[in-house]
Amino acid sequence: MVFEIQAHRGARSFFPENTIQAFCKAADLGVRVVELDLVVSKDHQIVVSHDPWLSGPHCSDPYGNPLSTENRQQRIYDMAYRDIARYDCGLPHPSFPLQQRIASCKPLLSTVFTGVDASMALAGMKGRMIYNLEIKSWPDKDGIFHPSPDRYAALVLRVVEASGLSDHVRIQSFDYRVVREAWKLNPQLCYGLLIEESKNLKQFLRMLGFNPQYVNPHVSLADRDLAEYLHAEGILMIPWTVNSKEDMLAMMHNGADGIITDYPELALSLFGVPQEPSL
């Protein structure tokens, strides 16, 4: 099987996270799987954003004033998308000193689909992009940061199915509830469960009600024992967020099926450009 390289929130060394530019740069590097985060606006639009609010260091307000990293006042679920789009979220992150400053609002998922695919087609790139969609959901935040799991899953799947990209999309979350609801609506899609504590894995899989195609653990959990257990269950393992050369090599040695990384260019230098991945 191909050792998969996923660009975490796009090619973050080059452009601010979760922007079309970051995803297009990942494609240009040769990556064919991008990981991105989803939240919901007040008018039920699916927005690409890691946090369920607008804050620094990426974003400035409509008047050009950078937002504080501690800002939590502009909750995306309380705002219509037309108002969210007035915020510029193309400011560089200090942890990535080579990031270029760009003008970019938080894009809609549908815009990412069309923008990345169009860019790849225009450049004559081979293959198609796979979009690994992390639904940001918390069991204690229903009605605060997002709708109920069934409604949330339906909103995401509506965009996926309307895009015609069902065979190029994966759905994953730390919240097994929203993965389960999506699977109930469309069991033909590819699903994953994110974990940061291995002690809960068997319980979450039992509550999920089916074996997903992927279980993606934090890099600190991704040892050979976990890989062997998951593979015996017919589940693939792609750890996050794997950023050092040493960890990348260790993940391959431990039997991981790939990595999710902020530095896909480093991973490509180690492992080469992978063949076209499969769901």
Q: What is the pLDDT of residues 73-115, one digit of tens each?
A: 899 999 999 999 999 999 999 999 999 999 999 999 999 999 9
Using alpha carbons, list the distances in angstroms from residue 165 to 110, 160, 231, 242, 270. Answer: 10, 6, 27, 27, 30
pTM value surpassing 0.95: yes
In eight-state DSSP terms, residue 104 is: -
- Rounded Cα–Cα distance for residues 217 and 264 (Å): 18
Pick the CATH number of 4-271 from 3.40.50.300, 3.30.420.40, 3.40.50.150, 3.20.20.190: 3.20.20.190
| Angstrom distances, CA of residue 100 to CA of 26, 94, 266 | 14, 11, 18
- Range 105-133 average pLDDT: 97
The CA distances from residue 184 to 22, 139, 180, 218, in Å, are: 32, 18, 6, 26
| 169-173/74-75 β-pairing | unpaired
Residues 132, 68 contacting (CB under 8 angstroms): no
Q: Look at residue 53 and tell me whether its pLDDT is greater than 70.
A: yes
> What is the amino acid identity at position 279?
L
Which positions ≥6 away from 122 have C-beta within 8 Å?
none
The pLDDT score that the predictor gives to residue 1 is 66
Crossing angle of the two packed helices 20-29 and 264-271, in degrees rounded to 10: 10
